Structure 1
Amino acid sequence: MADLQEEPEAGPSVGAPETVPGPVLAGALERAAALLAEHPVADGCNTLVWTLRQKPYHDTDTDIPRLLRSGAVGAQFWSLLTPVTGDRVVADTLEQIDVAHELLGRYPDELLVALTAGDLADARNRGRIASFLGPVPGSTLTDSLGTLRAFHTLGVRSLAPAGAAWAQEGLTPFGHEVVREMNRLAMVVDLTACPPDAAIEITESSRAPVMISHTAAAALTRHPLNVPDEVLLAVRAAGGVCMVTFSAEQTGDSLHAVADHLDHIRSVAGPESVGLGACFGADPPHGHPAGLGDPSGYPRLIAELLDRGWPEPDLALLTWDNAARVLRDVEFTSRAAHHRKP
């Protein structure tokens, strides 16, 4: 596996700051840096594991120095979703879990394997990135919950129902069992790419808050992965969090377009239900928006939101507090379920 701290030998530096059109006031950048020092980014989606499986020496848009310093990232969900389907999906997911553990073990001074919300705070206090495994694809589950429990034992803390036979138009009886068991295990339900009807039903079925780890507002950009306002309202009612991606295809090709999506989701779902899920680690089909090509763009995005009038408490919710609260609430629901169970 490639050493992510090494610089490429030739070509443009992957760590070079991007040129971003449009002015951002220097004072806002200073305030953004101070805010991120106190409330780093809890990023809902990093796809580096898949990229490393395909090209172990790939020059990615994510590396340890930029995550810790330039990007001010304090936590990540390491996506284990895979395009593989059919009989290979379980084996492929297990291979991705293995790569993730190898990656985390390679950088023990920078990355901390996170299993609980307490690990989130512990990693921040120790200057490390809290690293949660997941989501895994819901299609790995068929008619048994044993696979779900096995993933949990391996450290996975999130599952995405999209594409699963038990969560197509709505939840089947087995689908309801899956959601209940995820609540019991303190695993986060990630509604990314779920059809709206299914997403709303899952949100209503779950006793714990849900997450949408990488999406954008369908009201601004029509895209299959973007969520309509009725789903945003359901997430708000359930106390969940909707995390905006940095995919130009879903948001538009500029930092300002991403800020527009954040504005919309905040206005519909409320400041307590919006977060960031950049999907760094692999280039999306249409690239990242200008100014957000790697984690070093986070401070400039926060500065843009400050210029738009976002109060600092709302920005603290956006970067860290909303994700941390969802994880705490998911664990609280789990403890309550264990208490009720004979």
Structure 2
Amino acid sequence: MADLQDESEAGPCVGAPESPAPVVADALERAAALLAEHPVADGCNTLVWTLRQTPYHDTDTDIPRLRSGAVGAQFWSLLTPTTGDRVVADTLELIDIAHDLVHAYPDELLLALTAGDLADARNRGRIASFLGPVSGSTLTDSLGTLHAFHKLGVRSLAPAGATWAQDDLTPFGHEVVREANRLAMGLDLTGCPPEAAVQIAGASRAPVLISHTGAAALTRHPLNVPDEVLLAVRATGGVCMVSFSAEQTGDSLHAVADHLDHIRGVAGPQSVGLGACFGSDPPHGHPTGLTDPSGYPRLFAELLDRGWPEPDLALLAWDNVARVLRDVEFTSRAAHHRKP
């Protein structure tokens, strides 16, 4: 497995920092101070899939760069391009790799199952590590697989691609949404058709999230969402997390900030977050200045220069994700209370 502690002997890194446009020193200092109090909760890292393909792959994610970028929580994506009979087996293998990754660095990473674990990791100086999402296509006509994933520590499900979450949410799809709510598993609408995304958001009693997206109003891309989906997520109290994939959000830090501005304007400051998709190289790379997690302070400095108030930046970095996790668990407790 790749060594997350030190890549100094691994040769040039795929995600080596580039030379971004200069940022006003005062804004960068303010950004660093803010992130020291409100670290980044990143909604998407694909390192687990990369490690499955090439265990010693040179990646843009390691502990020093996560620390440099003030990352305090990370969602390790368990999505696989596999379809058909192999999807469950491949997902289980990714879960196994994710557990090995967390256990290999006990002084740096902490497996997180609840919102309380998120706070505990922060207080102990660890990076909270959530497992998920898994693909909704792993579920066919039974909820047993969902229960098994939950027992293995998975805390997020992505319905995109599932037969029960196409343009219309099927009766089984409604069962999945209810059971995910009961289990306190987040529903990640990334990649869902807009009609299905709106239906799932409407059916869920808990906040929903979109772990890596952009504004379709700015960039047309299959993973970017139109404003009606942003409003549906906002109505649940959920969060839309902006990707650092150049094909989704542009090839510069400035372009990513444009997407954050748009989503904040439509969905509100309580519904915007960050899901960078570090861990592997997207087809068109990462935006200049955001090629690895160490670029987060520079992005926050750019947003300060654009006039974002510090309370909104605290929401963007940490507070929105922490609140959504708490609310998902509150919905679960209420469901258990109602169930005979």
Measured against the shorter chain, the TM-score band is over 0.9
Whether the aligned pair in 1 keeps the contact of 2:15 and 2:291 (CA below 8 Å) is no
Q: Give the secondary-structure state (helix, strand or coil) at the position aligned to 2:95.
A: helix
Whether the aligned pair in 2 keeps the contact of 1:8 and 1:59 (CA below 8 Å) is no
Query: Which residue, 171, 174, 192 being the options, matches 2:172?
Result: 174
Provide the alpha-carbon RMSD of the alignment: 1.0
Pairing 1:44–2:21 present: no
TM-score (ref. length: structure 2): 0.98
Q: CA 1:143–1:6 in structure 2 vs 1: closer, same or farther (change >3 Å)? A: same
Whole-Å Cα distance in 1 between the matches of residues 275 and 88 of structure 2?
A: 25
- What does residue 33 of structure 1 align with? 32
Q: CA 1:143–1:259 in structure 2 vs 1: closer, same or farther (change >3 Å)? A: same
Q: CA 1:14–1:83 in structure 2 vs 1: closer, same or farther (change >3 Å)? A: closer
- What does residue 139 of structure 2 align with? 141
Whole-Å Cα distance in 2 between the matches of residues 170 and 321 of structure 1?
A: 32
CA drift of 1:6 comes to: 2.5
Letter in 1 for 2:48: V
| 1:92-241 superposed matches below 5 A | 92-241=90-239
Q: CA 1:29–1:84 in structure 2 vs 1: closer, same or farther (change >3 Å)? A: same
Whole-Å Cα distance in 2 between the matches of residues 33 and 14 of structure 1?
A: 25
CA deviations 1:222-280 (Å, max 9, x no partner) are 01110000000111111100000000000110000000000000000000000000000
- What does residue 74 of structure 2 align with? 76
CA drift of 1:339 comes to: 0.5
CA drift of 1:65 comes to: 1.2
CA deviations 1:133-180 (Å, max 9, x no partner) are 000000000000000000000000000000000000121000000000
- What does residue 18 of structure 1 align with? 18
Whole-Å Cα distance in 2 between the matches of residues 14 and 176 of structure 1?
A: 42
Q: Give the secondary-structure state (helix, strand or coil) at the position aligned to 1:222.
A: coil
Q: CA 1:111–1:259 in structure 2 vs 1: closer, same or farther (change >3 Å)? A: same
Whole-Å Cα distance in 1 between the matches of residues 30 and 69 of structure 2?
A: 15
CA drift of 1:7 comes to: 2.0
User: Matched residues, percent identical?
Assistant: 86
Whether the aligned pair in 2 keeps the contact of 1:24 and 1:300 (CA below 8 Å) is yes
Letter in 1 for 2:18: E
Matched residue count = 340
Q: Give the secondary-structure state (helix, strand or coil) at the position aligned to 2:73.
A: strand
Runs of 5+ consecutive residues of structure 1 not aligned to the other structure = none
Whether the aligned pair in 1 keeps the contact of 2:233 and 2:239 (CA below 8 Å) is yes
Runs of 5+ consecutive residues of structure 2 not aligned to the other structure = none
Whether the aligned pair in 1 keeps the contact of 2:16 and 2:292 (CA below 8 Å) is no
Q: Give the secondary-structure state (helix, strand or coil) at the position aligned to 2:285.
A: coil
Q: CA 1:38–1:197 in structure 2 vs 1: closer, same or farther (change >3 Å)? A: same
CA deviations 1:190-225 (Å, max 9, x no partner) are 000000000000000000000000000000000111
CA drift of 1:4 comes to: 1.5
Q: Give the secondary-structure state (helix, strand or coil) at the position aligned to 1:264.
A: helix
Letter in 2 for 1:101: H
CA drift of 1:17 comes to: 4.1
Whether the aligned pair in 2 keeps the contact of 1:158 and 1:188 (CA below 8 Å) is yes
Whole-Å Cα distance in 2 between the matches of residues 280 and 161 of structure 1?
A: 22
| 1:280-319 superposed matches below 5 A | 280-319=278-317
Whole-Å Cα distance in 2 between the matches of residues 16 and 162 of structure 1?
A: 32
- What does residue 2 of structure 1 align with? 2
Letter in 2 for 1:40: P
Structure 1 segments (4+ residues) deviating >3 Å: 10-17
Whether the aligned pair in 2 keeps the contact of 1:15 and 1:66 (CA below 8 Å) is no
CA drift of 1:16 comes to: 5.7
